[in-house]
Amino acid sequence: MAKIPRQVKDKIKPLVQKLLDKCSNVKVLTRKLEWEEITEILKLVELIQNIEKDHRHPFPDRNVHWDKFYSWCRENGADFDAVKVKEISDKNFGLIAEKDIKENDPFLFIPRKIMMTENSASSSRLGPLISKDPVLQHMPNVQVAMHLLLEFIDTNSFWKPYINILPSSYDTILYFSLPELQELQGSPVLDEAFKLIRSVARQYCYFFQLFQNDSYARSLNIGSYFTFELYRWAVSTVMTRQNFVPSPDGRQKVTALVPLFDMCNHIGGKLSTDFNLEKDSLVSYSCKAFSTGDEVCMFYGARTNGEYFVHNAFVYPENENDALEIKLGISKSDPLYSLRNDLCNKTLNFPLNDAFRISKEKYISERLLLFLKIIVMKSDELQHAISEADNIHTVLEKNSDLNHRALRFLRDRIQLLLKSYRTTLEEDETILKSSVFESNHQQLIVNLRICEKKIFHCVYDYCCKNVE
């Protein structure tokens, strides 16, 4: 296992500083300037990766390590006789039922001993660094990612059988190319995607410098093998596989990687996982009945497809909890800004800029409708509403014309949002049916766009019906 030579690190240093400066920009940017910034960030990352490419730590072939992994799990108290890991599709794995499983039957028992958690990170050689480093102290997910890296480079690690069966790469935003990101133009997830890319690039720079400058951090030996590729892998592993389990004293939840349990893919349904504090083990119950040979899935929780896409690298078209956020605000250049400001702040205690969720099930929340009304109110309506502060909601509800104007505003805004995409819903549905995708990323993007546009169309149609 070759270490990265000093001359290579010296070559990377100025690029790391440039990248850190670029990622530390706190200015509010227009979308055009954001694209320019992300383009520069990705170019710097690519330059760093090109220098590091001959010194990347090799990833094991997970296909040859499953038997050792099963043995390690059983030796340390895991019980999983009802299921086995199998390849579902190309390089995608899941749990398959080895026998019939009834709904609510327990099918996995995973002891804390084999989990990688904040607690095991603090108990490892990483502990002293966690106790003094502000980034590690305040970011449990980064703690676990660093814990994973520490164990990854240790050939004698207790967790080596688990690490050997992890994927060598992921479909998270961190692996997207610039052209792939550009296919997300118009999507509400772009803000979160840009934020994540900046954050992880900044973290890489921070730890690159820490491993050079801090004596204890240097002693951990992570810096000798630390590359952007390796850090991206560790972060993506935690992002896509993290769960939350009770701490040993049961007083709080801690971030954890749970071997075997994290091989279970998502399905709609109900949460069906518990933690037995007496046995100090996670227990997973079947969310529905599965027959022998079926893929055994679980419900990951009520999240939107945007959240699944960014943090878990998948899209679930049947997602009953799917929703979109739209951002609305009152501009200071608005001639009636002062009145709208008074109504929001003094009368309704409402922010002037906010994000609102829309969905196919609940098109428009009362909160969104209220803000839309504030946006479209005329001067006399604003003055009357402010003067009737004690009876404000009744005043607003009685004005049917105001309600229609609010819905027209939202209808027109959604129309603009739909036009900001590069494709229409119909075009995306045709692409999904007829295309052979070059990468999983492309298929994920098209699926996400379809889900988003269906929500936009539903809310648009609702507005149209209720303003006529």
Residue 319: the pLDDT is 95
Residue 323: the pLDDT is 96
Cβ of 116: how many Cβ atoms within 10 Å? 26
What is the C-alpha to C-alpha distance for residues 111 and 93, in angstroms, rounded to an integer?
22
- Topology of the domain covering 324-467: set domain protein methyltransferase, domain 2 (3.90.1420)
* Three-class DSSP category at 457: helix
Q: How far is CA 62 from the centre of its chain?
A: 24
**CATH code linked to domain 6-59+115-312:** 3.90.1410.10
Provide CB contacts within 8 A for 434, sequence distance 6+: none
Region 429-445: mean pLDDT is 90
pTM of the predicted structure, to 2 decimals: 0.93
Residue 436: the pLDDT is 82
Confidence tier at 448 by pLDDT (50, 70, 90):
very high
Q: List pLDDT tens digits, range 108-136.
A: 999 999 999 999 999 999 999 999 999 99
What's the 3-state SS for 34-52? HHHHHHHHHHHHHHHHHHH
What is the C-alpha to C-alpha distance for residues 5 and 8, in angstroms, rounded to an integer?
5
Residue 393: the pLDDT is 78
Tokens for 451?
């889900």
* DSSP code for 4: P
For residue 468, is pLDDT > 70? no
Q: What rounded mean pLDDT belongs to the chain? A: 93
Alpha helices in 377-424 (DSSP H): 379-387, 392-398, 400-419
Domain ranges in the chain are 6-59+115-312, 324-467
Tokens for 104?
């609510």
Confidence tier at 56 by pLDDT (50, 70, 90):
confident
Residue 25: the pLDDT is 82
Region 382-396: mean pLDDT is 83
Contacts of the segment 364-372: beta carbons below 8 A, 24+ positions apart: 364/407, 364/410, 364/459, 364/462, 368/328, 368/410, 369/403, 369/406, 370/396, 371/328, 372/328, 372/406, 372/407, 372/409, 372/410
Residue 361: the pLDDT is 84
Q: List pLDDT tens digits, range 283-297.
A: 999 999 999 999 999
Longest Cα separation, the chain: 75
Confidence tier at 347 by pLDDT (50, 70, 90):
confident
